[in-house]
Structure 1
Amino acid sequence: MIHSKRSDRNNISPQAGLLIWAIIFLVLATAVLNMPGYPSGLKPATFLKLPLEVPLTGLALLVLSGLAARLLAFFSTLAIGTVLFLRLADIGVQSAFQRRFNPYLDAKMIADGWNVLSGSIGTLTAASLIIATIAVFILVLLLLFTAQVRLADAKPPITGNLRLVFGSLAGVGLIFFTASQFDGMRQYASLQTPSYLTARLTLISKSMDDMRHFDQDLAARAEKTTDEYLFRGVAGRDIILIFIESYGRSAVEDSRYAPLIQPRLASVGDALTAKGFSAASGWTRSPTMGGLSWLAHGTFLSGLWVDNQARYDRLMISDWPSLNSMFRDSGWRTAAVMPAITMAWPEAEYYGYDQIFAAADLGYKGKTFNWVTMPDQYTLSAFDRLVRHPAAEADKPVMAEIALISSHAPWTPVPRLIDWLDVGNGEIFDRQAESGDPPGVVWADDQRIRRQYIQTIDYSLHTVGDYVAKFGDDAVFVVLGDHQPAPLVTGPDASRDVPIHIISRDRNLVRRFEAEGFSPGMIPAEDAANPPMDSMRGKLIRIFSQAQ
């Protein structure tokens, strides 16, 4: 009898159990529907608001019965789950690219997101984080569905009490919601799920419509690629286009980074001037930030605004001429030096390169710098050896596109410039590659992430400046950032501007860029214009085609 009484005390009554499930539904549904779509919104005050959908759904579950109630539970869970997925995706995309998640355009970026995340914090940590997120997501949906089914199956007399509770919450929430519609009233209750999901569907619809217009542009617009006057202003010279990973405006102007980068740019400018080079610098607005460098490459080289993967994919299968192919058709030998490419690269066919040097083709025998396959100094050294001065001298000038990646996350270890004669096959960099802390340690400290990010930018600028000063000869260099780094580095309100530098011994050529709004030297003026990156190709073609 004693054992029986103890068991009775440990059992939860049906009424109490149902009350617990009602609380679970209220708390979870309220938390999900209040969840912000941006990291900075994740604070307690954000969740102190009543979504009217929650008490109204609870009330409907208690009023309906049978199949109708279970269908409501299913579709309610589906709607809340969709909101939860979109909000989590928004937080991830906002953290990396400072924009909302677009299901139509961003689905193809899952693999790229994994590459960036695993390269930054390590494969095991990234996999654990993703698995934990998926597990929590599934658990939340199971709890929500189970709680709603329990409410749908509730029997009197508890249903009457719960109807009163949900009805009262809905009534009070409606009063606060109505009051919040007046200016200056704080919103303590909301009704946003229908409008939120409708807005996301509208975004998908607009994206699909945008793609139709982009396809029409690709088909309708034609551009002459051969012209006797095309590029006559740079005839016979090597044209070297260098993208520096994550080199954005913040690196030059942010008070946390300017004390290191502005003196570096000034010293690079002084070294170039001493060697007879002139430079002009400006800003251009990138179509992306935080990653997806190929969108910037595609935009700059096509002269079309390519701000999402769908547009990029369409461009890659189009007949629209790239800047590379225009140089090739005008007598240049075109090459791509891409140390980050470690797999098949079918998109290369669009650009029209005569030669492609991916990571495996550059002859690097040293150790990797975590995600970064080789330091920038080796990349430029290999470019000089394999492209500009190959064993069999070519009789054509070179138009080369180079992607420098030492400033790519996880920004550890930070490489250092050495004597160019010592570069060899890259084994000399092994000690640098083994130095510093692993990504997991660096990325545990936001301040250290920012400090090492800017150190890699400093290294890349130092390396490019030193290469041009020592080996630039009569080449024309176009050096620019591909995009700003993630908001973790720049802050949430940073622009999408990146610096662009024109460097040449042809002072008259550089002056033409100054006449187009560029600033003399290596530091762009703060108030200089920031035209979109797709306009840069037309500017280059126009200036490069003017008579000398």
Structure 2
Amino acid sequence: MPIWTKVLGIGFALLALNASLSFHNIWPTLWVHLRPELSVEAAAILLFVAIRSAWFGAMSMPTRYLIATALLFLVLGRYVDVTAPALYGRPINFYWDVQHIPRVAAMILKDDHAWLVIISMLALTLVAVCLFMGLSYVLAVLSRAVQRPQTRLCLGSLAASVLTLYAIGMASREVATERWFSIPVSWMYVRQLSFAHAALVGHPSDGRFAPGQSLNSDFARLKGRDAYLIFLESYGEIVFNEATIAQALVPAFKALSESAEKDGWHAVTASYESPTFGGASWLSHATLMTGAWIAEQDKYQLLLTTDRRSLVQHFQDAGYRAVALMPGLKMAWPEGAFYNYDKIWNATALKYRGPTFGWWRIPDQYSLARFYNAEGANNDRQPLFVFFTTITSHMPFIPTPPYQIDWSRLLSSTPYDEDMLSSALDVSLDWDDLRT
């Protein structure tokens, strides 16, 4: 075999090994693409292969398959790590997310779509087998190459140099060579194992979270009335403090105030500091509900493994039925067990039959109408504590469902007149001037 052919083969194997652990997601899809980055794990594997060859000689097939299996787990971990944020807006958490799998499978089987589960499993198996064989071939090429002392020295030195560059960049504030590298996927596995250990074995929660708020009230001043905690996504104190936005909202606030006062209501305004801005509102929800400052996703997920009390338990202790009205919740939510709601009204439970309004689909007015018809209108019941996260006002803000004066019509399959619906769907948004 010509020398240039061998060099090309080794070069291809090195590029394939590095690419398998440094690819990135094409947001927001299932596909990936390559960037000019180096992989720490790829360099470590290459150095291991070179050192092993020097000490023990040629690599046996069982050993190669064992290393290929470990490499396959790294590749799959890399794919999950870069894809989850693009699809779900947050990092993967095996402890919580794996719990979705049997629920999703059961839902599909219940709908007589067993063939979909079978095809998916076969496709995943085929992909895994192809990846394994490809990685095994790459290792075979490199294993043969390092049998030659000169080649082994070159490849080993290359791997050691790459690892040194990464170590220097991580240890130095002046040298930024670590930016040449993709984030090691092994760190993701370390985080996952650390979190699982903390969740299953126990963790020093007292040190991670501030002591719970002392809430001795029996809510007697509510006199048995229902209590609604409504998060108007995506709005905050900026609607009052940002002059241009506040000015644009003056007519709406005035109309709301006059309407409320006409029916004997009044409004007061207060504010509290949120741990988030511009996203991750569930962290703000958890902060308000528990009294713990939850500003990071990892801390939030750890909180959900504890038995810390929230407003839900306090209202339940006072004889309230606690429910969550979450029309934006489209998937199983095992983490919700932390809050211990008596019922979660998610997108499926709401059974919306009307026209779709963008990604969020369900108008908030319908959610309130459906919930009130099912629970609120019943006079022979416990008082309600309702946690409601709105979606009509959520980013991307359009299309905005029209207001339906006849609330009972919202529960039908034709909640809006055709002209009213067309006008709402035709509205566009000027992203350069959000005041509109």
Alpha-carbon distance in structure 1 between the residues aligned to 2:189 and 2:25: 12
Alignment-derived partner of residue 234 in structure 2 = 247
- Match in the other structure for 2:403: 418
Paired position in structure 2 for 1:405: 391
| Structure 2 counterparts to residues 3-14 of structure 1, below 5 A | 13=1
Partner residue, 1:147: 138
Q: Is the 8 Å Cα contact of residues 367 and 430 (structure 1) preserved in structure 2?
A: no
Q: Does 1:204 align with 2:193?
A: yes
Normalising by the residue count of structure 2, what TM-score does the alignment of the two structures yield? 0.63
Match of 1:376 among 358, 364, 380: 364
Three-state SS of the structure 2 residue aligned to 1:420 is coil
Cα distance, 1:264–1:337 mapped onto 2, change above 3 Å: farther
Which one scores higher on RCO, CA 8 angstroms, separation ≥ 6?
1
* Mapping 1:496-535, distance limit 5 Å: none
Q: Secondary structure of 1:169's partner?
A: helix
Q: Aligned with 1:428: secondary structure?
A: coil
2: CA distance between counterparts of 1:134 and 1:290?
36
State the shift of 1:199 in Å: 7.4
Deviation at 1:233, TM superposition (A): 3.8
Do the aligned partners of 2:330 and 2:346 also contact (CA within 8 Å) in 1?
yes
Label 1:310 to 1:111 Cα distance change in 2 as closer, same or farther (>3 A). Answer: farther
TM-score (norm 1): 0.52
**Counterpart Cα distance in 1 of 2:56 and 2:405:** 79
1:57 to 1:143, Cα distance in 2 relative to 1, 3 A:
farther
Q: Confirm whether residue 269 of structure 1 aligns to residue 253 of structure 2.
A: yes
Residue 203 of structure 2, aligned match among 192, 198, 213: 213
Residue identity opposite 2:385 in structure 1: M
Q: Deviations over 1:248-279 (max 9, x none)?
A: 66986999xx96x6556544433333334323
Distance 2:62 2:430 in 1: 50
Q: Aligned ranges for residues 336-485 of structure 1 at < 5 Å?
A: 336-339=324-327, 351=340, 353=342, 364-369=352-357, 372=360, 374-388=362-376, 390=377, 393-394=379-380, 398-406=384-392, 414-421=399-406, 424=409, 425-426=411-412, 427-429=414-416, 431=418, 432=421
What is the deviation of 1:149? 1.6
Contact 2:364–2:392, Cα closer than 8 Å, also in 1: yes
2:282 maps to 1:282: no
Deviations 1:217-252 (A, max 9, x none): 9xxx99998x6x5224433543211234x5266986
Contact 2:229/2:387 (<8 A) preserved: yes
Q: Which residue of 1 aligns with 2:81?
A: 90
**Whole-Å Cα distance in 2 between the matches of residues 345 and 52 of structure 1?**
39
Matched position secondary structure for 1:213:
coil
Aligned 8 A contact 2:275 2:284 in 1: yes
Tell me which amino acid in the other structure corresponds to 1:26: L
Q: Is the 8 A contact 2:22 2:34 kept in 1?
A: no
- 1:27 to partner: Cα distance: 0.6
Q: 1:19 and 1:271 mapped to 2: Cα distance?
A: 76
3-state SS in 1 of match to 2:231 = strand
What are the Cα deviations for residues 411-431 of structure 1, in whole angstroms up to 9, with x where unaligned?
A: 697133224236613413485
Question: Structure 1 or 2: larger strand share?
Answer: 1
| AA matched with 1:381 | A
Alignment CA distance shift 1:143-1:338 (3 Å): closer
Distance in 2 of aligned mates of 1:198 and 1:50: 10
- The one-character-per-residue Cα deviations of 1:63-122 (angstroms, maximum 9, x if unpaired) are 4667745455345434443443333333234446776544445433568999xxxxxxxx
Distance change in 2, residues 1:450/1:349 (3 Å): farther
% identical aligned pairs: 21
Q: Is 1:230 aligned to 2:218, yes or no?
A: yes
1:143 alignment partner AA: G
* Structure 2 residue identity aligned to 1:420: I
Q: State the secondary structure of the residue aligned to 1:401.
A: strand
Give the match for residue 542 of structure 1.
none
Instruction: Give the whole-Å Cα distance in 1 for the aligned partners of 2:310 and 2:14.
Output: 56
Distance (Å, rounded) in 2 between the aligned partners of 1:433 and 1:210: 50
Deviation at 1:142, TM superposition (A): 3.0
- Residue number in structure 2 paired with 1:23: 11
Give the Cα–Cα distance (whole angstroms) in 1 for the partners of residues 340 and 279 of structure 2: 24
CA contact (8 A) 1:413 1:434 kept: no
8 A Cα contact 1:322 1:352, kept in partner = no
Query: Cα distance 1:380–1:170, how it changes in 2: closer, same or farther (>3 A)?
Result: closer
Give the match's secondary structure for 2:228.
strand
Aligned length: 398
Deviations 1:4-24 (A, max 9, x none): xxxxxxxxx375554343122
- Mapped contact 1:77–1:145 kept (Cα < 8 A): yes
Query: Is structure 2 residue 315 aligned with structure 1 residue 327?
Result: yes
Counterpart residue number, 1:59: 50
Q: Which amino acid aligns with 2:401?
A: R
Relative to structure 1, is the Cα distance of residues 91 and 56 closer, same or farther in structure 2, using a 3 angstrom cutoff?
A: same
Q: 1:163 maps to what in 2?
A: 152
- Secondary structure of residue in 1 paired with 2:177: coil
Distance 1:17 1:64, change over 3 A: farther
Provide structure 1 residue ranges, at least 5 long, that are not aligned to the other structure.
1-12, 115-127, 438-447, 459-548
Relative to structure 1, the CA distance from residue 205 to residue 94 in structure 2 (aligned partners, 3 Å threshold; closer, same or farther) is: same
Per-residue Cα deviation, 1:342-373 (whole angstroms, up to 9, x for no partner): 899996796454x7766677675424446645
8 Å contact from structure 2 (residues 195, 302) kept in 1:
no
> Quick one: structure 1 residues 108 and 184, their matched pair in 2 at CA, closer, same or farther if it must change by over 3 Å?
same
Paired amino acid for 2:257: T
